[in-house]
């Protein structure tokens, strides 16, 4: 009787074992080969007991899909955040520079809580300059700060390739080319920035300065005239415009422009000198001599020659 009992129990156990194995095979088939990732041979030695444990890690398809969705959502949120930050920097925080000079050439300054004026003279916040390619653009800005202009050009070019509708990379690529004295190429980039409706008035000043250095007096005068009609706080813009008006023999306009340059920068010796020369052309000898004397006192050596000529 005991023998029959043992055989019966063994048979039941064998049937149970077969069913268990079939269920495991079916479960593995349901997961799919690619989705049931088994990490074997993860061994953790216990120095005291000498025990080696093996851990099997299984990742289901549902987990994989959910993780991908979460990663996508986080990535999308990060892109939106970065875009908003860059939009604020470009549209709100880049403002007309206040007497910031670099060898006679202004560099746009970054200030907070100010609005840019667009090319029509209306104070506005741009919504056209959204950065999709943050990384290349910001790397280009960093390289400009480090004076590595050739590398900066490469990064701005990548940013433009990925988002050609954004005007800011054109402007700063133009800045890098300007620093390398690639003036015609810089002018093209400044112009492209305008075509993309970049709301940054400095683009007129920068393009005008490049044209001035290339001898395009008519083109430079147009850009400086447009610039000072929007930003009235840059003495250098009025000074260069005055020089060009002098070449065009518009002496009364020269005097007006240089009056403004001197008002903004009372130590602008070259503005005193050129205003004195314009006054001489209009027959104002006393005004001419006063300006030439002031220019000499402030260190303008060229004015000394004309002071001896006109005021002796």
The whole-angstrom distance between residue 73's C-alpha and the CA centroid of its chain comes to 26
- Range from 63-67, 76-80, 104-108, 187-191 carrying the lowest mean pLDDT: 104-108
Rounded to an integer, the average pLDDT of 81-91 is 40
pLDDT recorded at residue 208: 98
* Strand pairing report for 123-124 and 116-117: antiparallel
Q: Name the domain count of the chain.
A: 2
Half-sphere exposure of 264 (CA within 13 A, CB side): 21
Q: Return all residues near 117 (Cβ < 8 A) that are at least 6 apart.
A: 96, 123, 124, 199, 201, 230, 231
Rounded to an integer, the average pLDDT of 115-130 is 33
Rounded to an integer, the average pLDDT of 117-127 is 32
306 plus 256 within the same structural domain: yes
Greater confidence, 60 or 11?
Answer: 11
Instruction: Using the 3D structure, point to which of 12, 36, 59 is the last residue of a domain.
Output: 59
Place 134 in a pLDDT band, splitting at 50, 70 and 90: confident
Is 66 within the bounds of a domain? no
The single residue listed with the structure tokens 């840059």 is 234
80 plus 224 within the same structural domain: yes
CA dist., res. 250 & res. 242, Å (int): 9
CA dist., res. 74 & res. 84, Å (int): 15
17 plus 122 within the same structural domain: no
37 plus 175 within the same structural domain: no
Greater confidence, 210 or 114?
Answer: 210
Q: Return all residues near 290 (Cβ < 8 A) that are at least 6 apart.
A: 276
14 plus 80 within the same structural domain: no
Is 290 within the bounds of a domain? yes
6 plus 123 within the same structural domain: no
179 plus 224 within the same structural domain: yes
53 plus 112 within the same structural domain: no
Q: Return all residues near 177 (Cβ < 8 A) that are at least 6 apart.
A: 149, 153, 183, 185, 186, 189
Half-sphere exposure of 12 (CA within 13 A, CB side): 5
114 plus 199 within the same structural domain: yes
pLDDT digits (tens, 9 = 90+) for 244-280: 999 999 999 999 999 999 999 999 999 999 999 999 9
Instruction: Using the 3D structure, point to which of 19, 36, 59 is the last residue of a domain.
Output: 59
The residue segments making up the domain with residue 48 are 2-59
Is 100 within the bounds of a domain? yes
Place 61 in a pLDDT band, splitting at 50, 70 and 90: very low
pTM flag (> 0.75): no
Q: Kindly report the CA angle at 113 between 112 and 114, in degrees rounded to 5?
A: 95
Rounded to an integer, the average pLDDT of 190-216 is 96
Structural element, H or E, at residue 155 = helix 149-162
Query: How high does pLDDT run on average in the chain?
Result: 74
Q: What's the Cα-to-Cα distance from 206 to each of 61, 236, 240, rounded to whole Å? A: 57, 11, 12
Q: Which residues pair with 105 in a beta bridge?
A: 102
81 plus 55 within the same structural domain: no
- Range from 51-65, 168-182, 222-236, 285-299 carrying the lowest mean pLDDT: 51-65
Q: Which two tokens stand for residue 220?
A: 């430079």
Is 249 within the bounds of a domain? yes
Instruction: Using the 3D structure, point to which of 59, 89, 107 is the last residue of a domain.
Output: 59
pLDDT digits (tens, 9 = 90+) for 101-117: 333 433 333 332 232 33
Rounded to an integer, the average pLDDT of 11-32 is 56
Is 254 within the bounds of a domain? yes
Rounded to an integer, the average pLDDT of 225-235 is 97
CA dist., res. 204 & res. 155, Å (int): 23
Place 237 in a pLDDT band, splitting at 50, 70 and 90: very high
pLDDT recorded at residue 312: 85
Report CA dihedral (108, 112, 115, 118) to the nearest 10 degrees.
Answer: 20
262 plus 292 within the same structural domain: yes
Rounded to an integer, the average pLDDT of 236-240 is 98
The domain that holds 235 is classified in CATH as 1.25.40.10
Is 157 within the bounds of a domain? yes
Greater confidence, 6 or 119?
Answer: 6
205 plus 266 within the same structural domain: yes
Is 64 within the bounds of a domain? no
Place 38 in a pLDDT band, splitting at 50, 70 and 90: very low
CA dist., res. 278 & res. 14, Å (int): 114
Is the pLDDT reported for residue 93 higher than 70?
no
Is 69 within the bounds of a domain? no
């Amino acid at each position: 009787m005991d023998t029959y009992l043992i055989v019966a129990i063994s048979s039941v156990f064998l049937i149970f074992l077969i069913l268990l194995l079939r269920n495991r095979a079916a479960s593995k088939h349901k997961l799919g080969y690619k989705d049931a990732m088994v990490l074997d041979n993860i061994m953790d030695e216990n120095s005291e007991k000498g025990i080696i444990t093996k851990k099997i890690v299984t990742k289901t398809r549902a987990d994989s899909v959910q993780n991908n969705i979460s990663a996508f959502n986080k990535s999308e949120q990060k892109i939106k955040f970065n875009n908003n930050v860059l939009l604020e920097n470009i549209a709100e925080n880049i403002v007309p520079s206040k007497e910031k000079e670099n060898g006679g050439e202004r560099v746009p300054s970054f200030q907070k809580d100010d609005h840019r004026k667009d090319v029509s003279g209306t104070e506005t916040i741009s919504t056209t300059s959204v950065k999709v390619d943050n990384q290349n653009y910001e790397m280009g800005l960093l390289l400009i700060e480090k004076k590595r202009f050739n590398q900066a050009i490469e990064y701005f070019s990548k940013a433009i390739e990925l988002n050609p509708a954004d005007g800011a990379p054109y402007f700063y690529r133009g800045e890098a080319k300007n620093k390398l004295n690639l003036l015609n190429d810089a002018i093209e980039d400044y112009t492209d920035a305008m075509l993309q409706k970049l709301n940054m008035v400095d683009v007129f000043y920068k393009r005008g300065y490049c044209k001035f250095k290339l001898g395009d007096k008519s083109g430079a005068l147009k850009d400086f005239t447009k610039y000072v009609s929007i930003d009235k706080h840059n003495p250098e813009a009025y000074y260069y415009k005055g020089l060009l008006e002098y070449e065009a023999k518009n002496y009364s306009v020269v005097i007006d422009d240089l009056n403004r340059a001197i008002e903004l920068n009372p130590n602008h010796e070259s503005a005193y000198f050129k205003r004195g020369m314009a006054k001489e052309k209009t027959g104002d000898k006393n005004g001419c001599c006063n300006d030439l004397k002031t220019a000499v006192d402030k260190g303008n050596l060229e004015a000394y020659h004309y002071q001896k000529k006109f005021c002796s």
